[in-house]
Amino acid sequence: MAAAYQLVCARCAARYAPDALRWRCDCGGPLDLAFQPRFDRRRIAGRGPTLWRYREALPLPAEATPIHLGEGYTPLLQGRVGGIPVWLKQDHLFPTGSYKDRGAALLISQAVAMGIDRVVEDSSGNAGAAIAAYCARAGLACDIYVPEATSPAKLLQIQGYGATLRRVPGDRQAAAAAAQQAAATTFYASHVWNPFFMHGCKTFAFEVWEQLGQRAPDTLVLPVGNGTLLLGAALGFDELLAARQVDRVPRLIGVQAASCAPLALASASGASAPQPVEAHASLAEGIAIAAPARGEQVLAAVQRTGGAFIAVSEEEIAAATRLWWRHGFALEPTAGATLAGLGRYLSAGDHAREVIVSAITGHGLKAGQALAGLL
Ligand SMILES: Cc1ncc(COP(=O)(O)O)c(C=O)c1O
Ligand SMILES: [Zn+2]
């Protein structure tokens, strides 16, 4: 099958041909794709409401068959926070209950196109569940490495899809190290390292662009652990800008949990790389990432859009999660962190005429135990 792309190091620009076992550059840097997307508004509008409506803007060989579960084109609802209108993308309504299906659908479709039959992945839970679901759909074997403290419902979900669950003693970094050892001989379906995942996540931008009437919002307020959604959204708007479909890239506001905020701290001190922090547990388990592998890229993206980081406390996360449940939204605490950040963003300055988009990234039913104490 003809390769539609090349791998390019985000740090040193070295290039590599597609290779099933290469997941980072020889310099240690993360890999991006050299790929030319195409947008044909008429074709897009003529297709069904899934993320595959942007088929020619996704780096899957034209002859490959997407592995799909009906994912994407999630509702964009308008709400009000403190009287200010904001748009909320309902990404907890994906097939596995989190936005991670955006990336998993494309990554596993690409793995199948490459003839892969087994993958490994490490995750705080949601990305593992998404990879496990698409592997189940495609008939691939997969091993998912998770930290031992992962929410029970996410563990059940991973096992329910038939994946082999590997619980690793220690934190999120320990789970990543164990998966990377296995990745020496097995395809690494990493939502952080594999650039196809980010290209799946860029459909967040494409959907927002269409749902707002083919324009870019002024501001995106998004959660950041490893930053796959934020980087995907930035990539999507960069591509739309290059294709002259929008006139700017939105300002990016990244929300972190204060108990684990290497990027917010780096940004505050003007550093271009994540600040070393101790890995503390957080209600927002999905974004408690002490050493984000693409941290330099996230910091650069936020800075070049004139954005900022907001670090929210455990109390703010709990309060926002409770508040939004009371307004009818079933969200997990990680998603509550984003909305706590949104509230903080709106509380300073004048945002009355700003078009602001945020997201609910994970479903509440995934975190029953944590929520039992909160709600
Ligand atoms: C519900 C939810 N929201 C947001 C994120 C953050 O994604 P990232 O770590 O790629 O920034 C995660 C990651 O696991 C998540 O599970
Ligand atoms: Zn490199």
Over residues 147-165, the pLDDT tens digits come to: 998 888 889 999 999 999 9
Calpha distance 312→338 (Å, rounded): 9
- Ligand in nearest proximity to the CA of 99: 1
Q: Is-contact 231 195, C-beta < 8 A?
A: no
Q: Is the CB of 98 under 6 A from ligand 1?
A: yes
- Ligand in nearest proximity to the CA of 124: 1
Quote the pLDDT of residue 124. 85
- Ligand in nearest proximity to the CA of 15: 2
Quote the pLDDT of residue 1. 45
Architecture per CATH, domain 76-98+196-374, reads as 3-Layer(aba) Sandwich (3.40)
CATH code, 100-193: 3.40.50.1100
- Which ligand 1 atom sits closest to the C-alpha of 229? 10
Residues 6 or more apart from 135 whose CB is under 8 A from it?
108, 119, 141, 142, 161, 162, 163, 189
What is the pTM for the complete model shown?
Answer: 0.97
User: For residue range 88-105, what is the model confidence (pLDDT) as tens digits?
Assistant: 999 999 999 999 999 999
- Ligand in nearest proximity to the CA of 8: 2
- Which ligand 1 atom sits closest to the C-alpha of 98? 1
Q: Is the CB of 362 under 6 A from ligand 1?
A: yes
Quote the pLDDT of residue 280. 84
Which of 91, 98, 220, 253 should be mutated for ligand 1, with most atoms under 8 A from CB? Answer: 98
Which of 361, 366, 371 should be mutated for ligand 1, with most atoms under 8 A from CB? Answer: 361
Query: Boundaries of CATH 3.40.50.1100 in the chain?
Result: 76-98+196-374, 100-193
Q: Is the CB of 126 under 6 A from ligand 1?
A: yes
Q: Is the CB of 200 under 6 A from ligand 1?
A: no
Name the residue with tokens 């994906």: 94
Nearest CA to ligand 1 atom 16: 286
Task: Give distance in angstroms: CA of 21 to centre of ligand 2.
Answer: 16
CA distances from 106 to 75, 91, 111, 113 (A): 20, 16, 9, 10
Calpha distance 219→203 (Å, rounded): 17
Nearest CA to ligand 1 atom 13: 286
Q: What is the 3-state secondary structure (H, E, C) of the chain?
A: CCCCCEEEECCCCCEECCCCCCCCCCCCCCEEEECCCCCCHHHHHCCCCCHHHHHHHCCCCCCCCCCCCCCCCCCEEEEEECCEEEEEECHHHCCCCECHHHHHHHHHHHHHHCCCCEEEEECCCHHHHHHHHHHHHHCCEEEEEEECCCCHHHHHHHHHCCCEEEEECCCHHHHHHHHHHHCCCCEECCCCCCHHHHHHHCHHHHHHHHHCCCCCCCEEEEECCCCHHHHHHHHHHHHHHHCCCCCCCCEEEEEEECCECHHHHHHHCCCCCCCCCCCCCCCCHHHCCCCCCCHHHHHHHHHHCCCEEEEECHHHHHHHHHHHHHCCCCECHHHHHHHHHHHHHHHCCCCCCCCEEEECCEEHHHHHHHHHHHC
User: For residue range 39-73, what is the model confidence (pLDDT) as tens digits?
Assistant: 999 999 999 999 999 999 999 999 999 999 999 99
Q: Is the CB of 336 under 6 A from ligand 1?
A: no
Per-residue pLDDT of the chain (375 residues; tens, 9 = 90+): 445 689 999 999 999 998 999 999 999 999 999 999 999 999 999 999 999 999 999 999 999 999 999 999 999 999 999 899 999 999 999 999 999 999 999 999 999 999 999 999 999 899 999 999 999 999 999 999 999 988 888 899 999 999 999 999 998 889 999 999 999 999 999 999 999 999 999 999 999 999 999 999 999 999 999 999 999 999 999 999 999 999 999 999 999 999 999 999 999 999 999 999 987 889 999 999 999 999 999 999 999 999 999 999 999 999 999 999 999 999 999 999 999 999 999 999 999 999 999 999 999 999 888 898 888
Q: Is the CB of 259 under 6 A from ligand 1?
A: no
Quote the pLDDT of residue 4. 65
Q: Is the CB of 361 under 6 A from ligand 1?
A: yes
- Which ligand 1 atom sits closest to the C-alpha of 123? 14
Task: Give distance in angstroms: CA of 253 to centre of ligand 1.
Answer: 15
Nearest CA to ligand 1 atom 5: 286
